[in-house]
Chain A
Amino acid sequence: MASGMQEKQYTPSLLSFFVYNPSFGSREGEEEKKILFYHPSEVEKNEKIRNVGLCEAIVQFTRTFCPTKPAKSLHTQKNRQFFFEAEDSFWIVMVVRNPMVEKPNKDGRPPTIEYQEEEILVRLNLLHLLFLFNGTFGRAMEAGGVELLMQKLDKFFYRYLQTLHLQSCDLLDVFGGIAFFPLDKMTYLKIQSFVNRVEESLSLIKYTAFLYNDQLIWSGLEQDDMRILYKYLTTSLFPRHSEPELAGRDSPLRPEVAGNLLHYGRFLTGPANLKDPEAKFRFPRIFVNTEDSYEELHLIVYKAMSAAVCFMISASVELTREFCEQLDGLVGPQLTLLASDICEQYNVNRRISGPDKEPQFKFIYFNHMNLAEKSTIHMRKTASVSLTSVHPDLMKILGDINCDFARVDEDEEIIVKAMTDYWVVGKKSDQRELYVILNQKNANLIEVNEEVKRLCATQFNNIFFLD
């Protein structure tokens, strides 16, 4: 039977995920206390203890080779374990089963399973969201002991593990970069001016971030915090709100009238409708600058058309209806105007740069210095799926090249000819990485090299790229 001969592909999947602190149950018989969170929770207690113990042992053992850099992952034939010391003695471990191919055998014999050894890209950096919303382990312990910490972990990981889509992880998840919205200087300065004015008149606001089309334009937060917040906004909050929009339900494009100005502003966090007398003025709380000043903040996300602004206010202040109304009245009309300005500028620039020709190549660019990422491979990014326009095999090659780059500090260039006549080029220059996928069937190495040079000269002529 033809169908019986079909191979079955298995994508990588999550086997277990746990958080432990070895110092909590150092005595014999109290090992269970070490475990702060374990997924899947229905696993038997002794097995949990055994798995945690194993990880502990591996970490301890490898530490003898390099005390400053503890082991990050353990690769076995069947699976991979990732270790991450989130905070002093707090370990987070993820166990992933390798992708595999099941080849059916004739005569009813059990199928042969081939595990695939390619790199699995994980988005461990997503874990930082944990800190964004919960602060550090230490602080939680101070506030309410182990119980509170475990509660928080339960609550967070319950949601988090659902959004962990290992099969669709790719290079962009590894970078955890920020897409910046291309903008001319004048419009950018207008946005600056807007942010400064709002911060001046609503002095409660400590930090502001400005995004357009899910791309960052301005961040008052430090880079590390912004990276996490950006991830949260683009993979969780915005998709959640855009899906009803796309479905045409609950159309938010109903202009509000503030004074005599029409505006399209609305809150993405907090009250859905300011006029609702029952509206609650509660906003998600986030933790930033956990390294030094450790601030807890309310996160207000306000959006008008494609422009979204995050206002962050110290959590010690209670936010009232009056404040929200004031903010709505002040920001709504200005942001609406600004959003249409940006849109217009963007269209002008697009027209200048010529019609959208489908280029011969696709690329991913990442700069470690400012976390800027740019991809012509990804069409749209949502919480659940990242739509890419290239074959997953090519994406895997990109992942492999990235892992090679990570091992050396020198600048280098890797050119790969893929099975499907594609050429994949990885280039690393100082803090920048560029991955190009070329679709030129009969090109040779020299031609590909020339082509990439040309690409750098046209697309990246305003930055310093060594070749």
Chain B
Amino acid sequence: MSEEHYLELCENPVQFENASSVNNVFFDEANKQVFAVRSGGATGVVVKGPDDKNSVAFRMDDKGEVKCIKFSIGNKILAVQRTPKSVDFISFIPDYPHLECSQECKMKNASILGFCWTNWNEIVFVTDQGIEFYQVLPDKRSLKLLKSQSVNVNWYMYCPETAVILLSTTAQGNVLQPFAFKSGTMSKMPKFEIELPVVPKPAKPNLTERDIAVATIYGQLYVMYLKHHSRTTDSPCAEVVLYQLPREGSYKKTNVLKLNTTGKFALNVVDNLVVVHHQSSQTSIIFDIKLREPDCALNVHQPVLPGRSIHPYRIPLTGLAAVPTQPPVPCELCILYETFSPACLTCAVCSPFASGYLWYLQVKLPPTVNLLQDKGKLMDFLLRRRDCKMVILSVCAQMLNGGDKGGLPVVATVFDKLNQVYKEYLEAEQTYTVATESGPSRGSAARERPVRTQAVIDQSDMYTHVLSSFSEKKDTSHKFIIAVLMEYIRSLNQVQITVQHYLYELVIKMLVQHNLFYMLHQFLQYHVLSDSKPLACLLLSLESTYPPAHQLSLDMLKRLSTANDEIVEVLLSRQQVLGALRFIRSVGGHGNISARKFLDAARQTADQMLFYTIFRFFEQRNMRLRGNPSFIPGEHCEEHVVYFKQVFGEQALMKQVTV
């Protein structure tokens, strides 16, 4: 059971002191920072982020109860809200004095609901009457209003990755107005209405911020609406409705996630997966909006995996109380269902201690392998995850080692899926190379080099981690091994990826080991094993066990058309001196060949007429090249000239024509 927990908490949670009468705790989504403000800051403010870089401790004057506190991006400026009308700023720029200033909201009678940093020095105030976009000028101790918009706001939500603020408007609160911010500009995006299951009469705020979350999934901004069951419709279960908000154009209702239960839920987005925690069953389920369900209508999703609880977490005792031998205390997680934060964080409180913890949620891929039986679906799922490479390779190895029944069709599906991703990467790389080579003059903006994600499993990965050890397995039939290798080669060919030589070598090794030479012959005949010099040499070495390999090798060398020297060597080694000479002449390379090599070979045949012919050929060549039939010393043919005279007599030597 324990190996089935596919969700876990990160190793190093952010630990903070529990909220109390003297200690206020705030969480900032944008920087993932927890602020513990003791006595209004007078006795200290401790800021902890997911890593030490983001952790700061400082003091500030107690100017009243802190309502909200956030650093700008990069911890440059601290904003503190203490009253409903104004926000105070403290500069934290290194080597700058801690200058302070304050800003009231411009709209009269408005009260500030909150604020969000969109940049290191740009901030948005959200009031119940609209939004105000400011630039902070720390050296001037003032703020400059960049833009504002008035609209009635019930509540708001901020997505830091995309710098989009979502405002809940209208009486029922179900009309959402998004605004996007980018370096000093604010743009209004099309507003949209969330369809409520029941329309209350009279109209009153019905959609609360607890039912809405914004997050980026697969690079797109989504608004997630947790739709609790309605008594009117016959579907009793809750569902999550996803609205996509593209940068350009209008919103789209894109996906519906079926939760198949009711109760209290919390949402997270981790590694582009939507994680839904269910309170009463203490389990969590995950959805992948890119995973198509074959038996569901388009874009209606069932959980990818059956619901499981998060892997139990043990809190190591630290500090003074820690005794080295004391085992870590298992903690009972209590997810804070009240305030959920989709951006990959879950807040939990550990009961035995008076402190809170904040964890990153992580998806553990190995347990998913056993939970998802359909290998094709599993591959689709894994290929979209961040740290997937080793898991995918282990799935491949396991699949081939007979762990599962499914056979070649499954193997083929998996290979095809892997190679599709591999191919897409290679193509992107190719276009990038072409674009950069064509120079910056053509391309408007410098293209970004495509990122090689872990999902790109190339041939060498497959070879090293899966195929080479698989092909050495004694208990697997060679027929299956060869079939798998051919299937991989087929799959690569299908997406036009050039197959690496070591894969061919593996196939050939298998075929040779089992004396399947005729099979090898047929593969070569249909050019399934692509031509290359190493392959041709490998074939030559097989000649003694399989004579036709000689012909196959020569054909291959011929087709390569860059291996004429090799062909000559092969023919000479078989004492086909005349053949070698004719060949080199036919390709026009006889002007600068080594005469000695040919004469040596001709001598070895002990065929005197052949020697004569070859000798005469080179005399004629010398004549043509230098106007003199004799060999020059650099050719080292003296020995052969002596032999020639000995056998055929001095007078048989070609005479230089004297004019």
Is B408's CB under 8 angstroms from A467's CB?
no
Kindly specify which of A66-74, A82-90, A190-198, A270-278 makes contact with the partner chain: A190-198
Is B579's CB under 8 angstroms from A411's CB?
yes
Distance in angstroms from A61 CB to nearest chain B CB is 34
| Across-interface contacts of A190 in B (CB, < 8 A) | 490
Is B555's CB under 8 angstroms from A463's CB?
yes
| Across-interface contacts of B408 in A (CB, < 8 A) | 193, 196-197, 200
A-B contact pairs, 10 of them (CB 8 A): A180-B525, A196-B487, A200-B483, A219-B518, A223-B518, A223-B521, A431-B551, A463-B555, A464-B551, A466-B583
| Across-interface contacts of B489 in A (CB, < 8 A) | 189
Distance in angstroms from B477 CB to nearest chain A CB is 10
| Across-interface contacts of B527 in A (CB, < 8 A) | 185
6 shortest interchain CB distances as A-B pairs? A196-B483, A189-B490, A464-B554, A369-B548, A464-B558, A188-B526
Given the interface pairs A200-B483, A464-B558, the reply to whether A189 lies near B407 with Cβ below 8 Å is no
> Within the complex, which residue of A185, A431, A462, A466 is in contact with B582, where a contact is CB–CB below 8 Å?
A466
State whether the Cβ of B261 lies closer than 8 Å to any Cβ in chain A: no
| Across-interface contacts of B525 in A (CB, < 8 A) | 180, 370, 372
Q: CA separation between A218 and B519, bound complex, in Å?
A: 8
Is A467's CB under 8 angstroms from B582's CB?
yes
State whether the Cβ of A201 lies closer than 8 Å to any Cβ in chain B: yes
State whether the Cβ of B409 lies closer than 8 Å to any Cβ in chain A: yes
State whether the Cβ of A199 lies closer than 8 Å to any Cβ in chain B: yes
Given the interface pairs A189-B528, A218-B522, A467-B582, the reply to whether A200 lies near B480 with Cβ below 8 Å is yes
State whether the Cβ of B270 lies closer than 8 Å to any Cβ in chain A: no
Identity of the chain B residue whose Cβ is nearest the Cβ of A183 in the assembled complex: B526
> Within the complex, which residue of B490, B558, B576, B586 is in contact with A463, where a contact is CB–CB below 8 Å?
B558
Q: CA separation between A367 and B525, bound complex, in Å?
A: 12
Is B490's CB under 8 angstroms from A193's CB?
yes
Is A464's CB under 8 angstroms from B557's CB?
yes
Distance in angstroms from B427 CB to nearest chain A CB is 18
Give a binary string over B541-567; 1 marks a CB under 8 Å from any A CB, 0 the rest: 000000110011011011100000001
| Across-interface contacts of B554 in A (CB, < 8 A) | 430, 464
| Across-interface contacts of B526 in A (CB, < 8 A) | 183, 185, 188
State whether the Cβ of A222 lies closer than 8 Å to any Cβ in chain B: yes
Is A197's CB under 8 angstroms from B407's CB?
yes
> Within the complex, which residue of B486, B521, B552, B557 is in contact with A193, where a contact is CB–CB below 8 Å?
B486
Identity of the chain B residue whose Cβ is nearest the Cβ of A223 in the assembled complex: B518
Identity of the chain B residue whose Cβ is nearest the Cβ of A367 in the assembled complex: B551
State whether the Cβ of B151 lies closer than 8 Å to any Cβ in chain A: no
| Across-interface contacts of B552 in A (CB, < 8 A) | 369
State whether the Cβ of A317 lies closer than 8 Å to any Cβ in chain B: no
Give a binary string over A344-378; 1 marks a CB under 8 Å from any B CB, 0 the rest: 00000000000000000000000101101000000
| Across-interface contacts of A197 in B (CB, < 8 A) | 407-409, 412
Is A467's CB under 8 angstroms from B586's CB?
yes
| Across-interface contacts of A192 in B (CB, < 8 A) | 486, 490, 528
Is B412's CB under 8 angstroms from A193's CB?
yes
Q: CA separation between A192 and B583, bound complex, in Å?
A: 36
Is A222's CB under 8 angstroms from B518's CB?
yes
Q: For window 450-467 of chain A, which residues contact chain B by CB distance below 8 Å?
A: 462-464, 466-467
The number of chain B residues with a CB under 8 A from chain A is 36
Is B528's CB under 8 angstroms from A185's CB?
yes
Q: Which residues of B contact A (CB under 8 A)?
A: 407-409, 412, 479-480, 483, 486-487, 489-490, 493-494, 518-519, 521-522, 525-528, 547-548, 551-552, 554-555, 557-559, 567, 576, 579, 582-583, 586
| Across-interface contacts of B582 in A (CB, < 8 A) | 466-467
State whether the Cβ of A186 lies closer than 8 Å to any Cβ in chain B: yes
| Across-interface contacts of B521 in A (CB, < 8 A) | 223, 369-370
Distance in angstroms from A177 CB to nearest chain B CB is 13
| Across-interface contacts of A430 in B (CB, < 8 A) | 551, 554
Give a binary string over A154-193; 1 marks a CB under 8 Å from any B CB, 0 the rest: 0000000000000000000000000010010110111011
Q: CA separation between A270 and B555, bound complex, in Å?
A: 42
Distance in angstroms from A456 CB to nearest chain B CB is 10
| Across-interface contacts of B490 in A (CB, < 8 A) | 186, 189-190, 192-193
Identity of the chain A residue whose Cβ is nearest the Cβ of B559 in the assembled complex: A462
Is A219's CB under 8 angstroms from B522's CB?
yes
Is B493's CB under 8 angstroms from A185's CB?
yes
Q: For window 30-52 of chain A, which residues contact chain B by CB distance below 8 Å?
A: none
Is A462's CB under 8 angstroms from B493's CB?
no
| Across-interface contacts of A370 in B (CB, < 8 A) | 521-522, 525, 548
Distance in angstroms from A310 CB to nearest chain B CB is 15
Q: CA separation between A199 and B479, bound complex, in Å?
A: 9
Distance in angstroms from A233 CB to nearest chain B CB is 17
Q: CA separation between A401 and B582, bound complex, in Å?
A: 23
Instruction: Known pairs A185-B493, A189-B489; list 6 more (Cβ under 8 Å).
Output: A192-B486, A197-B407, A431-B548, A466-B576, A467-B582, A467-B586
Is A200's CB under 8 angstroms from B407's CB?
yes
| Across-interface contacts of A185 in B (CB, < 8 A) | 493, 526-528
Q: Which of A180, A219, A370 has most chain B Cβ within 10 Å?
A: A370
Distance in angstroms from A235 CB to nearest chain B CB is 22
Identity of the chain B residue whose Cβ is nearest the Cβ of A226 in the assembled complex: B518
Identity of the chain A residue whose Cβ is nearest the Cβ of B489 in the assembled complex: A189
| Across-interface contacts of B486 in A (CB, < 8 A) | 189, 192-193, 196
Q: Which of A196, A369, A370 has most chain B Cβ within 10 Å?
A: A196
Is B555's CB under 8 angstroms from A462's CB?
yes
Q: CA separation between A219 and B547, bound complex, in Å?
A: 19
Is A464's CB under 8 angstroms from B567's CB?
yes
Q: CA separation between A199 and B521, bound complex, in Å?
A: 20
Q: For window 390-433 of chain A, which residues contact chain B by CB distance below 8 Å?
A: 411, 430-432
| Across-interface contacts of A199 in B (CB, < 8 A) | 479, 483
Q: CA separation between A211 and B528, bound complex, in Å?
A: 18
Given the interface pairs A185-B493, A186-B494, A219-B518, the reply to whether A466 lies near B579 with Cβ below 8 Å is yes
Distance in angstroms from A218 CB to nearest chain B CB is 6
Is B558's CB under 8 angstroms from A201's CB?
no
Distance in angstroms from A285 CB to nearest chain B CB is 22
Q: CA separation between A186 and B567, bound complex, in Å?
A: 29
Q: CA separation between A220 and B479, bound complex, in Å?
A: 11
Q: For window 213-238 of chain A, which residues contact chain B by CB distance below 8 Å?
A: 218-220, 222-223, 226
Q: CA separation between A216 and B407, bound complex, in Å?
A: 27
| Across-interface contacts of A188 in B (CB, < 8 A) | 526, 528
Q: CA separation between A432 and B408, bound complex, in Å?
A: 38
Distance in angstroms from B639 CB to nearest chain A CB is 28
| Across-interface contacts of B555 in A (CB, < 8 A) | 462-464
